[in-house]
Amino acid sequence: MTEQIDNSAGSTPPTPVTPEPSIPEVVEPAAPVMDWLPTMLDFLARLIEAAAWPGALVITALIFRKEIRDIAGNLRSLKWGDKEAILKAWKR
């Protein structure tokens, strides 16, 4: 059996316990500061990837525009399967 000691009668009051100074906790931000950067880089990579072939086609057409104009000027008709288109002569 545990014996209980009564300190209330005639003894000095207990000294208050002062808490030890605590080290402040480092609070991490909820989200990284630059969490948009990987998303933006991924978007730019996909945009460049999607625009590569159309861009190459436009640049090639600009480089060879005189030759394309000469070839297109000589066309009289186009055939595709059972379809046919007859073209009028272009005036320059």
Residues 6+ apart with CB under 8 A from 72: 90
Its pTM stands at 0.43
In percent, the amount of the chain with pLDDT more than 90 equals 35
- Residue 65 banded pLDDT, cuts 50, 70, 90: very high
Q: Is 90 exceeded by the pLDDT of residue 46?
A: yes
Cα separation of 91 and 69, whole Å? 12
pLDDT at 90: 60
Residue the block writes with tokens 């998303």: 39
Q: Is 60 exceeded by the pLDDT of residue 6?
A: no
Residue 88 tokens, joined = 């009028």
Map out the domains of the chain as residue ranges: 49-92
